[in-house]
Each structure stands twice: as C-alpha cells, then as structure tokens.
Amino acid sequence: MSIVSVEGLKRDYPQGEHTVHALRGVDLSVESGEFLALMGASGSGKTTLLNLIGGLDEPTAGEVHIEGQPLSGIKAAVRSDLRRDRIGFVFQAYNLVPVLTAVENTEMVLLLRGVSPAERRDRAMKMLAAVGLEGMEHRLPSELSGGQQQRVAVARAIAGEPALVLADEPTANLDSTTSNELIDLMSRLNREQGITFVFATHDPKVMAAARRVVMMEDGLIKEDQTK
Amino acid sequence: MLFTIAWRNLWRQKRRSLVTSMALALGVAFSMAVICFNDGFYSVMNRVMIEQRLGHVQMHHADYPGRRSMHDTLGDAAARIEALQSNESVGQVTGRLRGQGLIGGDTKAEGGEVIGIVPELENAFTGLSQMVVEGRFLGADSAQEILLGKILAATIDVEVGDSIVVLTQSSDGSMGNNLYTLVGLVSTGNLSVDRYGGYMHLADLQDLLVLEDSLHEITLTAASGQKDEAGELAAGLKAEDGDDVLVRTWEEIDPQVAEMMKMQAFAAGMILFFVLGAAGFVVLNTMLMAVYERTREIGVLMSLGMRPNKVVQLVLTEAFCLSIFSLVIGMSIGGLMDWYLVTQGIQLMEGNLEFMGVVMPGRLYGAVSKSAIVQTVVAGILFSLIAAAWPSWRASRLRPVEAMRQD
Amino acid sequence: MLLIKLAFRNLMRNRRRTLITSAAIVFGMALMHFTICMQHGAYSAMIKTGIGSMAGHVVVQGDGYEASGDTSIVVENAGRVAAKLEEAVSYKGIVLQRSFLGGLLTSADGSSAAMVSAVEPEKDREVGKFHDYLHEGEWLEGSKDILLGVGLAETLDVELGDKLVYMMQVDDEMASKLFRVKGLLRTGAADQDGVMAAISVEAAKELRGGADHSTQVAMILEDFTQWPEALAQGRDGLADENVEVLSWKEALPDMDAFIKLDRNAGQGMLSIMGIIVAMGVFNTFLMSVMERTREFGVLLSIGAKPSQIARLVLLEGVILGVLAIGLGTVVGSLLVWPAAVYGLDFTRWMGEAMTNGGVVMSAKMYCVYNWPRMLAFAMGGFMLTVLASVWPAWKVSKLTPVEAMRHQ
C-alpha cells in the first residue's frame, strides 16, 4: 500500500473574473521510505499539490489517499487527527509558535495527542538532540537563527513519528551552508528511520539529494524520474 | 499547556492587553462599589420594612386590614402570645396595639399613632432599645412611660423628661386622654414612627383605649430565621386558629415590598449587565484583533493537527486568563472601595432622605455579601467568555492553507 | 477635503472593527440620551407635584418653618403679605395661601392622625395638584368642606356627606371644627392616601381663632424659567417682613436632594460605561495605527510631515466621533419618542406611586426631551472619542521613516 496515492487531482481558484487552474489532473503514488522532490517554477502547482496531500486544502476534483484512507468526505476533526498522527510539516517560513520555546514547540504534536508531560518532554529533547540543537531547547524562536528555527521545525515534524513528512521550500530562507546541513539532516532521518519525505522545492541542492524527482509545469506532471 | 500559550499570547501586545484588562478591572471595581452601595441601601429598606414592620407572618382580626378600625382586635392577647411563644416553629413574637391620637407637649400637639408594646418582646424582635437615641427604653412594667419618634419630639418641642398628653378616641366612643412621661426618643428609620408616633407599654395603651387584653397585630418570625419559610409558618398557624383571625405572610400583606426587594436583584443585574457589557465590548474587539494577527499561527497549529474545537478552546482560554487577571486587579480596587463604603459610608445629604416611608440616614453605608462578590466574579468571567465566543468561532473556521497564506 | 476622504476610507479599511467600535458608542450614547430624558420627565413631574401641592416657585414662610416643620410658625397677616408679593413680582403668576396642619380626625366609628393641607379652593384648583387627585365627589367650596385621601376615608369609615371632627392644638388650647366630607382624593401612593386631607384656608383660619395666619404664601409663575428673577424681586419686596422667602428648591429640600441623588446615580453609571467604551476605542485606534506603521514610514519617506500624519489620525477620531455620536443621538432621540408619547409604566414593580423626598412620584413615567443636557453629554462623548485618538496620533508624530519601515 502506498503511503500517498493521488488520482485525477484538480484544484481551481477563483480570482476576480477568471479562474486559476493550479492543478489540472495529477496522478501520483509515493511509497514508504521515499525521498521525493516535487520541482518546478512558481505557479507550477507543486505547493498546491503538497498542500492537498497534507489535507491543508481541498481539491476541486479527484482523490487523495493517505495510507489507504481517503481525505475527502471526512470531518474536519478527523482530518485534523490524521495530520496530528500521520503527517509532519516543515514550512518555508519556519512557522514556530513565537511564545513557545524550542522544546515546547517540538512537543506540540505530542501534547495534542495527550501524551503525558514527562514522556513528551523526554521525547522532544531527544528530537532536538537528533537535529543537533542540544543546549538550545529553552530558547524562544526570536533567540534562534533561521537555520536553527528550521531545525526545530524539523524536530517538531518528526517528534510524533509520522509516516510522512511534507516540506514546502524548507531551504528557501537559508544560506547555502545551512541549507546543505538541513538537507543532510533530513536525508539521514530518511535513511536511518525510514521516514518518507516529500519536498516541494526549486532548490537544486534538494534535487541533487532526492532519489526521485517529479517535474511539474502548469499544474501537470511533466516528468517523473527515479534515480 | 493551553494556559501557557494563552497567557503568553496575552502579553505579546502588552499595551493593548493592559488597556483591555484595565477596562475590565474598572468595570468590575465600579460594579462592586455600586452593588455594595445598592445592597447597603436595600439592607436599610429590608430592616425597616420587613424585619421591623412586617416580620415574616402577621396575625390580625379578619376585618382589620384595610380599614384598620380600632375595634377589630385580637382578644385574649396574653394567652395568644404565650401559646405562640411555646410554638416550636415560631421564632420571635411581638404584639402591637395601635391608637391614633393627638400627641402633645406643653405648647404643641400633633396627630400621630401610639403603638402599645410589651417592651421585652418588641425589643427582642426589632432591637428597639438600640434605636433609642436619647434617654432610655421603656421599663418592663407599665408605668405611664412613653417613647416618641425623634422628629415628632422636635416638632412638638418636647425633651426627655417632659410630660406628654395623648388624646385619643377610645373604644367606647369617648375621648380619653392621659399624661405620660417621655423617657426616650427613638430613631427607627420608619417614617410613621419617627415623625408621627411613639411607643408605650401595652397595658397603658389598653387602658387608654379601653381595650382590655387586646392587640391589633401579632408579628412573628419563623424559628429558623429564614424569610422563605414564612409560607409554611403561616399555613401552620392558620390551621390552628380558625376563621376570625387572618394569618398572612409578609408578601401577602405588602406585595409591593416584595416587588421592591426584587428590584434589588434587578438593579444589581442591570449594573453588571451594562458595565460589564461595555467592558465585554472592549474584550471582543481585542480578541478579534488578536485572532486576526495570529491567523497564520493558527493555520500552523491546525496543520500540526490541532482540532477546530481546540482552537476555540485556545482563544477562550486567552479570554479567561485576561478576565482572571483583570478580576484580580478589579476586585482589589473594588474591595478597597467596598471597605470604604462599609466603614465610612457616603454622606449623600444633610439630614435624612425619605424614600417610600423609610427614613434613610443622610450617611449611607454599604453592605457586602458573599453572593454579591461571587455574582460579580462569575459575571466578569462570563462576559469575557461571551465576548470571545465569536472571535474564537471565527478562528476555528479558518482553513489552514488560507490562514498560512496570510501575512 | 482630501484628508477627510482619506481618513474616512482608512476607517472603512477594517470595516468590522470600525463597525463594532461604532456600535458600542452608538449604544452607549443612545442609552444615555434615553436615561436623560426619562429622568427629566420623572423629575419634572415630581417638581410640578411638589410645587403644586406644597410649595411654589417663590415660597414665603414664617421664619424657621422650613427647618423645624413646626406648624405653629406662620406667616402673619397672610393676606397683606400675599398682596405685597404680588406687587413685588413683575412676572405673571398666581399668589395663593396654604396651611399645613397636623391633628386628629374623628368620625363616628374611628379616628386617625391626618396631614391636613388648607388651600384656597379657586386658585388651587387652577394651579394646584390637589384637584388632579380628586377621585370622587366634588372640590372644596365652603369652610365646612373637607376632602379625604381614600385610605383615610376607609380608616374613618366615612363616605361622601358624612361628618367629621377635626382637632388640633393651637397655642395652649385645643381647637376643633366640624367638617363634612365633600370628596375623596387619590394619589396612588398608599401612605399618602391614608393620611391626606384638604380643607379651605378659610377653615384653617377659623381653627386658628380667626387670625389671618397661613403656613405659606406661594407664587406659582406662568413661566417656570423666570423663577430666579421672581425670587429676587420677592425677597426685595418682603425684606421688612418677618418671613423667609425661599425658592422652590429651598422649600422642597428633600425632593431636591432625591432628584440630585437619583440623577447623579444614573448618569454617573453611564459615564463610567462611557469611559470603559472609550478605552476600547483607544485600543482600536492604537491597533489601527500600529498596523499602518510601515505605510506611514513610506509616506514619511516621500515627504509627508509627521504632524500631517498625526492630523490624519486625529481626523479619523473626529469622523468616528461625529458619526457614531451623531447616530447615537439620533437613535436615542427616536427611542425617546414613543416613551414620551405613551410613557413607561413601572406600576408592576413600584406600585402606582410612591413618596420620595416627601413628594409623590407616579410609577407611570413619561420621557421628556432635555436637549441642553443631551447636547452636553453628546459633546462629552465626542470629546472622549477624539481623546482616544490623541495618544496614538502623538505616537505617530514621533515616528522616523527608517524605524517605521523596519516595523513588522
């Protein structure tokens, strides 16, 4: 069973007088353990596809299945739970909660699951260590560099042991050294722990590290290459 | 941890949160002070109108109400009182006889009402001896003594120690008069006594009116001291006494007073509604702004898997934290104001204010009760939550994608 | 002009917020106006009652009567004093005499203390309140006539046409007189109806042994507003008499105190509400300014002066104030109208009428427009709204372009 299965996915946005066809019919299948990059220029639909896979948005037509479970036609609460339990997100703009420390941000998903304070604190600390942020656990986002914040975001994304991590332009706001460090980190997590990663990106460094590259243009998949 | 996030979120916009909580605190403090004053006012009304005048239950001759004819009396007064005193469901008992007449000193006289009482009983019931402002209370035995209302005494120009003439129409139709010694002046708060009347020993008045062993009115309280038991008490006594005696609860006797007491709760409710409503508006605006500013963040939380109803909880928790913070400040200020009102009171005017037959002292003191405080606290929290209801609902309806596209 | 348009559009940018803020101001202002008018109506009625039953616009009483209430203190040669007063005051009005007596009324079957007011039947019928209370029977004519409060009549167990003896003490002696019940009076306030009685001034003078004494000589003016001048004239004209010349406020101090207390309580509470709402408005302005910091920075960098931007913010405050207070006043005035025509009936909660500060106040209240006071509070509300924008405007004037554009 694929982790992600997309069929005939379409997404239209009304914009004033005319409609924008962000996705025009996409089929995609992602297996467990893959390290996949969705690439394309702005407007190609990669971010839209990513958001639809993650259940953050709803398609105009077509189906998305996560581990065999359909995303359409389910209640908002169920969808929330799916995101909480099976999917992790890393965003371009880090999107950490500014009033929470690094460890508090990281343990957020576990809190939502109802894990006990001791256990979730323990796990979050381990996650932060795994991403190389030992010693920084009690800093607020405003006290961390861009790269460090992004690492917290990664730690947060994997803290709940999701089946799938979706990363939207995670390196876009980082300099090249930091970007490489981040990509290495995620590669390592993918190899050692078998976490599936799907990126939406136009960073060539990510493309280089990915084992499968899906090229998109004008809302459709143009190429799908596995190395 | 919801509380942690909520609390910390409040202080992201320090000035705004402070202004909002000041508004709420001001509302709470003001409400407390006004309600304290209101309760003080009504406690005087309650004391004079209900406790002193009406008690819980009253017994009269069946024809007495309305006409209040001198002849419609309850006979065997002494025996009745004794029986009631030994009745277990009865708390305090007092009996009163009323005589209309001209009350005069050396040079001046005024029309008024003299009330005949058994001094110990009346005192146990209303604390009348505490209301003596000059001279002393009546002696236990009949000795041709009289107490007059303070204002009446001034009007007829008499002092403690003077002789008072009381001229009345007695039950046999003749005009009778007698001389009494003024032993004290009273200030009861009841206008009809303070300005137009006085008290003497029951036996003395019974003599003057030629109404042996009679009373016009018996006033009772329930043994438990609770006003709400009046109905039960009345029912019990009715069964015992039969038809020529009218047994009524205070609400039946003077329904207007009962309505007026409801006004007390109504007034408090109105104050809280308007004042905290105004503060609630401030909270509403603030929460709307806060939610708007954090649209992206809420989108992120939802993408992490926070359910919509948890988002509602988050916003409501923030409002709750704000209200508690404001309540602490507001209640401290309010508490100070209450303390001042209760101990120092406010001088509203020189002399007294007459309101619905009650003589309000010119300096009014406040009254604080646990229920009033609880009411204010609950209202403060409730209005804050209600104000935050709509913003929190709006927050929960955000779609993660759109939310995160916000800047 | 452009500035006004700009200010208005700025307010409309965040329509919901502006609407909510305005709604609160409108609500508060409307409520204030309604309260002002309701109070004005109730107090005016009370004052009219007080003046009509126990005072006048200018009141002449014996020296010391007001303070003591001693019914033996009288205006001597009342007739002459009345004539003097009429001459002294140039404004149109009616001068009448009244006496207030205590005493005992006895009938065949009962007796009761009574508050007896002696009036000049014809004059009082015109301007006094007692005639309004006439419930049954007829008005006073001769010196043998007496009118009783309905409760009093019940206590004495008398009907129209029955005889009564009235007894009071005059100096050291008992005076008494026979009366016939001519009519019944009803105020609706049970405590009044139970002790109130009215006789003619003639009868009162007979009781006083024929002397031309009355408790009070009162002048009731045609035009209420002239009372201060009339008072001054009265004082001058009667300077050499042994009397006190009082204004209606001085003659009805309890009523005056009650009115002041009641009014301040109501308007005080609404003012506090206003302050709270103003704090909310302050927050709104603060936020709206902060949100536009970067934009202001841009404006500053292209050459706008800080004072101009500050003025813009103030203007927004002024516009909001004008519109919201204006709307609030309109809404309030409209709400008052049905209450002015049909009145508000509080009988269910307060009984028919009650005695406050010595004067009967009916539970059926009519709103009366009090434009001066409404205007004053509208002005106050407006200033409060504008004040809420002052500090944000000041903050804006202190911005430097660089900081502003760096602001997030």
Which tens digits make up the pLDDT trace of C173-192?
888 999 999 999 999 888 88
- Nearest chain A residue to B294 by CA distance is A97
Model confidence at C33: pLDDT above 90: yes
In a domain, B242, yes or no: no
> ∠C361-C363-C368 over CA atoms, to 5°?
80
Query: Residue B242: what pLDDT?
Result: 64
Residue A88 backbone dihedrals phi, psi, to 5 degrees = -120, 150
Burial grade of A7 (CB within 10 A; 0-12, 13-18, 19 or more): middle
Q: What is the pLDDT of residues C4-14, one digit of tens each?
A: 888 888 888 88
At B142, the pLDDT band (50, 70, 90 cuts) reads confident
Distance to chain B for C358, nearest Cα, Å: 6
Distance to chain A for B6, nearest Cα, Å: 9
| Residue numbers in A near B296 (CB within 8 A) | 95
At C399, the pLDDT band (50, 70, 90 cuts) reads confident
Mean pLDDT within B315-324 = 93
Mean pLDDT within A20-24 = 89
At C407, the pLDDT band (50, 70, 90 cuts) reads low
In a domain, B247, yes or no: no
Q: What is the pLDDT of residues A40-78, one digit of tens each?
A: 888 888 888 988 898 888 889 999 999 888 888 888 778
CB contact under 8 A, A108 and B304: yes
What percentage of chain C exceeds 90 in pLDDT?
39
Query: Residue B51: what pLDDT?
Result: 82
Q: Are residues B38 and B109 in the same domain?
A: no
Q: How is residue C5 written in tokens?
A: 């348009």
Q: How many B/C residue pairs have CB atoms within 8 Å?
A: 184
Instruction: Mark whether C and A touch (3+ CB pairs within 8 Å).
Output: no
Q: Are residues B152 and B269 in the same domain?
A: no
Q: What is the pLDDT of residues C48-82, one digit of tens each?
A: 888 888 888 999 998 888 877 777 888 888 888 99
Q: Are residues B101 and B216 in the same domain?
A: yes
Cβ-contact A71, A55 below 8 angstroms:
yes
Most confident of A158-167, B224-233, B248-257: A158-167
In a domain, B121, yes or no: yes
Mean pLDDT within C346-365 = 81
Q: Are residues B270 and B130 in the same domain?
A: no
Q: Are residues B104 and B139 in the same domain?
A: yes
* Domain extent for B342: 2-49+258-405
Q: Which of residues 374 through 403 in chain B touch C, CB cutoff 8 A?
A: none
Query: Residue C190: what pLDDT?
Result: 81
CB contact under 8 A, B108 and C287: no
CB contact under 8 A, B308 and A98: no
Q: Say whether residue C154 is in contact with chain B using an 8 A CB cutoff.
A: yes
Mean pLDDT within C198-217 = 90
Q: Say whether residue B401 is in contact with chain A using an 8 A CB cutoff.
A: yes
Mean pLDDT within B253-278 = 85
| Residue numbers in B near A119 (CB within 8 A) | none
> ∠A156-B293-A47 over CA atoms, to 5°?
50
Q: How is residue C27 written in tokens?
A: 């609500």
Q: Are residues B124 and B36 in the same domain?
A: no
Cβ-contact B323, B24 below 8 angstroms:
yes
SS3 assignment, position C157: coil
Model confidence at B149: pLDDT above 90: yes
In a domain, B367, yes or no: yes
The residue among A97, A109, A115, A150 with the most chain B CBs within 10 A of its CB, best to mutate, is A97
d(C-alpha A1, C-alpha A30), whole Å: 9
Residue at which a domain ends, from B177, B202, B224 = B224
Residue at which a domain ends, from B224, B250, B280 = B224
Q: How many CB atoms lie within 10 A of CB C210?
A: 8
Query: Residue C332: what pLDDT?
Result: 94
Mean pLDDT within B133-141 = 91
- Nearest chain B residue to C275 by CA distance is B23
Q: Are residues B293 and B176 in the same domain?
A: no
Q: Are residues B147 and B274 in the same domain?
A: no
Q: Say whether residue A118 is in contact with chain B using an 8 A CB cutoff.
A: no
| Residue numbers in B near C71 (CB within 8 A) | 108, 110, 155
Residue at which a domain ends, from B200, B224, B248 = B224
CB contact under 8 A, C155 and B102: no
Model confidence at B227: pLDDT above 80: no
Q: Are residues B109 and B36 in the same domain?
A: no
In a domain, B249, yes or no: no
What percentage of chain C exceeds 70 in pLDDT?
99
Q: Say whether residue C279 is in contact with chain B using an 8 A CB cutoff.
A: yes
Calculate the alpha carbon distances from C389 to B17, B84, C282 in Å: 17, 70, 6
CB contact under 8 A, B12 and A99: yes
| pLDDT, greater one: C200 or B261 | C200
CB contact under 8 A, B107 and C354: no
The mean predicted confidence, pLDDT, of chain A is: 88
Q: Say whether residue A86 is in contact with chain B using an 8 A CB cutoff.
A: no
E strands, C114-267, are 115-119, 134-137, 145-149, 163-170, 173-185, 196-200, 216-221, 243-247
DSSP state of C209: T
Cβ-contact B282, C277 below 8 angstroms:
yes
Q: Are residues B270 and B216 in the same domain?
A: no
CB contact under 8 A, B4 and A100: yes
- Nearest chain B residue to A88 by CA distance is B304
Q: Say whether residue A16 is in contact with chain B using an 8 A CB cutoff.
A: no
The mean predicted confidence, pLDDT, of chain C is: 88
The mean predicted confidence, pLDDT, of chain B is: 88
Query: Residue C5: what pLDDT?
Result: 82
Model confidence at B407: pLDDT above 60: no
Query: Residue C344: what pLDDT?
Result: 86
Q: Say whether residue A41 is in contact with chain B using an 8 A CB cutoff.
A: no
| Residue numbers in C near B67 (CB within 8 A) | 110, 154-155, 157
Q: Say whether residue C266 is in contact with chain B using an 8 A CB cutoff.
A: no
Query: Residue C408: what pLDDT?
Result: 55
In a domain, B234, yes or no: no
Cβ-contact A76, A67 below 8 angstroms:
no
Query: Residue C1: what pLDDT?
Result: 66
Q: Are residues B153 and B264 in the same domain?
A: no
Cβ-contact B75, B213 below 8 angstroms:
yes
> Could you tell me if the ipTM is greater than 0.85?
no
Q: What is the pLDDT of residues A114-146, one digit of tens each?
A: 889 899 999 999 989 988 888 888 999 989 988
In a domain, B232, yes or no: no
Query: Residue B360: what pLDDT?
Result: 82
| pLDDT, greater one: B380 or C3 | B380
Give the contacts of A207 (CB within 8 A, at least 6 positions apart).
A37, A39, A201, A213
Q: Are residues B19 and B69 in the same domain?
A: no
Instruction: Mark whether B and A touch (3+ CB pairs within 8 Å).
Output: yes
Query: Residue A94: what pLDDT?
Result: 75
In a domain, B164, yes or no: yes
Mean pLDDT within A185-210 = 90
At B358, the pLDDT band (50, 70, 90 cuts) reads confident
Q: Say whether residue C19 is in contact with chain B using an 8 A CB cutoff.
A: no
Domain count, chain B: 2
Model confidence at C235: pLDDT above 70: yes
Q: Which of A145, A139, A65 is nearest to A102 (CA)?
A: A139
Mean pLDDT within B375-384 = 93
B151, B169, B279 ranked by CB distance to C111: nearest: B169
| pLDDT, greater one: C327 or A82 | C327
Model confidence at B132: pLDDT above 60: yes
C155, C172, C269 ranked by CB distance to B68: nearest: C155
Query: Residue B406: what pLDDT?
Result: 58
pTM for this predicted structure: 0.82
